[in-house]
A = this chain, B = another copy of it.
Amino acid sequence: MISICIIGAGNVATHLYKAFTQSNQLQVKQWYNRDLSKISTYKNEVAITNTLDDLVEADVYLMAISDDAIKQVSSNLPFENRLVVHTSGSAGIHDLDKKLRRGVFYPLQTFSKGVDMDFKQVPICIETIDKQDIDILKTITEAIGSKWYRINTEQRQTLHLSAVFVNNFTNQLYRIAHEISDAKSIDFDILKPLIMETAKKVQTVSPYMAQTGPAVRHDKKTIKRHLKQLENSKHKDIYELLTASIKNTHGR
């Protein structure tokens, strides 16, 4: 049984709390948040506190708090030589105070308040300063059904950047399609199966192999007509830049 104290009560902390409590290999010993009201509904299930000095002893302290707060909060922890991990994709492992045994437990997913997350679909990127500490992070990951990947800080920051492309930027392309189709009174629902299929395809085929459409076919006539159809000049810019990018990737 691995005992864990959770620090923070945002999206990630709340999803992980639920996942941890569902595993019989893990015990959430205590939950800290500076604003106690956010965790008070859990007070019958778990010890809660808003005072760092009251933190009890545990195998791991999981700190799921805003990137900017990691440095300060970790330096205020009232103990040394215990394993403390943060959950950030961008903060360095050295952002944690060096009096601690330091690690990272970064879930590469997008969490939403109120929407349950199947942790089988959450790859966890783990890193520790001390080699001996890695096994406990592997065990926690497996206990919640996730896959772990040993990823160093530079790689993790690269993943965080890649995630912006496949998540935030992709979502913005969905948004632009929504705007374009709304303008002609078209139900956005029509595009949803294609959105799913596009994501599904690259689960088994590389994005390179999966590419289709006018840019990779060098179908100049269609590209020209599409550019004419686009009324918003910023959408035009995006169309041109991504078309050029596809042509570049596919070697012409």
Q: Is the interface of A mostly helix, strand, loop or mixed?
A: helix
Q: List 30 A-B contacts (CB under 8 A).
A: A108-B191, A108-B193, A112-B205, A121-B193, A125-B190, A155-B184, A157-B229, A159-B186, A162-B191, A163-B194, A164-B215, A164-B226, A165-B177, A165-B180, A166-B195, A166-B198, A167-B195, A167-B213, A169-B246, A170-B170, A170-B174, A171-B202, A171-B211, A172-B207, A172-B246, A174-B202, A175-B211, A195-B202, A196-B200, A234-B245
Q: Which 8 A/B pairs are nearest by Cβ-Cβ distance? A: A168-B213, A199-B199, A175-B207, A174-B207, A162-B177, A121-B193, A165-B177, A169-B242
Asked if A154 is at the interface of the complex by the 8 Å CB criterion, the answer is yes
- Report the Cα distance A123→B188, complex, angstroms: 11
> Using a CB-CB cutoff of 8 Å, which residues 84-115 of chain A contact chain B?
90, 108-110, 112
A208 engages B162 (CB within 8 Å): no
- Report the Cα distance A190→B180, complex, angstroms: 32
- Report the Cα distance A198→B178, complex, angstroms: 15
- Report the Cα distance A188→B210, complex, angstroms: 15
Number of interface residues of A (CB under 8 A): 85
Selected from B112, B157, B241, the residue in CB contact (under 8 A) with A238 is B241
Which residues on the B side are within 8 Å of A180 (C-beta)?
Answer: 158, 161-162, 165
* A135, chain B: closest CB distance, angstroms: 20
B192 engages A202 (CB within 8 Å): yes
- Report the Cα distance A216→B244, complex, angstroms: 26
Selected from B166, B198, B244, the residue in CB contact (under 8 A) with A191 is B166
Asked if A197 is at the interface of the complex by the 8 Å CB criterion, the answer is yes
Most buried by B among A170, A197, A234: A170
- Report the Cα distance A174→B204, complex, angstroms: 13
Selected from B123, B174, B175, B245, the residue in CB contact (under 8 A) with A172 is B245
Selected from B172, B203, B207, the residue in CB contact (under 8 A) with A178 is B207
B238 engages A245 (CB within 8 Å): yes
Q: A151-B186, A163-B191, A202-B192 are contacts. A211–B125 as well, Cβ < 8 Å?
A: no
